[in-house]
Amino acid sequence: MAEVMLDGVRKLFGSVTAVEDFTLSIGNGEFVVFVGPSGCGKSTTLRMLAGLEDVSSGSISIDGRAVNNIHPKDRDIAMVFQNYALYPHLNVFENMSFGLRAKRLPRLEIESRTHEAAEILGLEDLLKRRPGELSGGQKQRVAMGRAIVRQPKVFLFDEPLSNLDAKLRHKMRAEMKLLHQRVQTTTVYVTHDQVEAMTLADRIVIMNEGRIEQVGTPDEVYKQPASQFVASFIGSPAMNFATGEISNSGRKTVLETDSGVVIALASCHVPQGRRVHLGFRPEHMHLADAAKPPKGHISISGNITVVEPMGHETVLTCDGGFGEIVGKYEGDKHFRPGESVQFHIRTDRLHYFDLSTGIRI
Ligand SMILES: Nc1ncnc2c1ncn2[C@@H]1O[C@H](COP(=O)(O)OP(=O)(O)OP(=O)(O)O)[C@@H](O)[C@H]1O
Ligand SMILES: [Mg+2]
């Protein structure tokens, strides 16, 4: 196990800045997930940690030792990629123990480490099979096994589950979690899937265009997103937004949206005149019969455009007059496009972001 420190790390590819001003301290045994849209610099950051890419400026240290100039094989890390790249002509045991044999460890130690990893991953019965005789999930487990046997200080994973179908991905996600609970090795895990990030991480690093937008626990980034970018990236279906200016109407504070729809805000800490994105999540919108919201709530009305029954809930896409809004409903009522509906939302579930900077207010 080890601490990992990235300090002001930057990566240029010619004139393209792939990573900028990346500073992060990862604790001993911590499971940190980098998440963000395609091209935001996740893999590049991971590859710099692994030593597969040079750092343009800044420094990286593992366990207190600067590794900028240390060869990948001497960094004591193990990396698992999306394409597991197993040797097709070697069986599972040989694939898993390949690195140890290359290091010429004693035969008994190779055997005990490989069997231990196989036991952790439930691969004991498959040790004699070749990759061609394994399912996708089993191959992925062998790739993880190859990393585990090395007993590295740090695990690096780059989208290790993205080749698997949805069901298997879910199963392997749970296995990743169990694995980390057992070996407790410091782990950096890259994905563009926010659900994977939320479910696996001790802390999530949300990246956008080469920069860190926010670092926090899953709970923090969901409840207190630092920017509109984070707010719209974390959560599914995504957060809804209404854009406009905070103003006063009579004695009430309202959001005058740019399309003219006025939303009464029961209470609001944002000063008058400020232009904002008002954000609210689908799961916090409660379908109501009355237009008048109870104390401490706001009311939003919409016209249903799409109804998506999911069994345990129904997702309603509506035209809110100021834009599209998506709400969730857990009940037995049936809806039709064209129906008008009313949602109530608790004011402490509302998020305000500055219109020009996107930063949380
Ligand atoms: N070898 C390279 N040469 C030039 N540009 C590169 C190179 N590798 C990556 N880039 C650029 O750096 C940026 C970050 O790429 P990176 O692979 O880190 O993104 P990512 O977040 O891992 O995306 P994805 O989710 O698609 O894997 C992108 O703009 C990419 O085009
Ligand atoms: Mg990538």
pLDDT digits (tens, 9 = 90+) for 273-295: 999 999 999 999 999 887 788 88
Of 258, 192, 237, 252, the residue nearest 38 (C-alpha):
192
Answer whether the bond into residue 225 is a cis peptide, omega within 30°.
no
Q: Is 39 in the pocket of ligand 1 (CB under 6 A)?
A: yes
The structure's pTM equals 0.92
Residue 9 has pLDDT above 80, yes or no: yes
| C-alpha to C-alpha distance for 277 and 332, rounded to whole angstroms | 32
Range scoring the smallest mean pLDDT among 103-112, 139-148, 235-244, 342-351: 139-148
- 60 pLDDT tier (thresholds 50, 70, 90): very high
* DSSP-derived 3-state class of residue 73: helix
196-215 pLDDT, tens digit each = 999 999 999 999 999 999 99
pLDDT at 13: 96
Asked whether residue 140 carries a pLDDT value surpassing 90, the answer given is no
356: left (phi over 0), alpha (psi -120 to 50) or beta: alpha
Is the domain covering 240-354 a CATH 2.40.50.140 domain?
yes
Q: What letter would DSSP give residue 239? A: P
Domain ranges across the chain: 4-227, 240-354
Atom of ligand 1 nearest to the CA of 47: 18
Q: Which among 146, 157, 101 is positioned nearest to 123, based on CA atoms? A: 146
Pairing of strands 31-35, 186-191: parallel
Confidence of residue 229 (pLDDT cuts 50, 70, 90): very high
3-state secondary structure 134-187: CCHHHHHHHHHHHHHCCCCCEEEEECCCCCCCHHHHHHHHHHHHHHHHHHCCEE
Q: Give the distance (Å) from ligand 1 centre to CA of residue 14.
A: 12
Ligand 1 pocket check for 41: Cβ under 6 Å? yes
- CATH match of 4-227 with 3.40.50.2300: no
* Percentage with pLDDT > 90 across the chain: 76
Q: Is the CB of 181 under 6 A from ligand 1?
A: no
Choice from 9, 40, 206 to test ligand 1 binding pocket (greatest atom count within 8 A of CB): 40
* 44 CA distance to ligand 1 middle (Å): 6
pLDDT (0 to 100) of residue 38: 93
**Is residue 127 very low, low, confident or very high in pLDDT (cuts 50, 70, 90)?**
very high
Atom 18 of ligand 1, residue of closest alpha carbon: 41
The residues facing 308 across adjacent strands are: 315
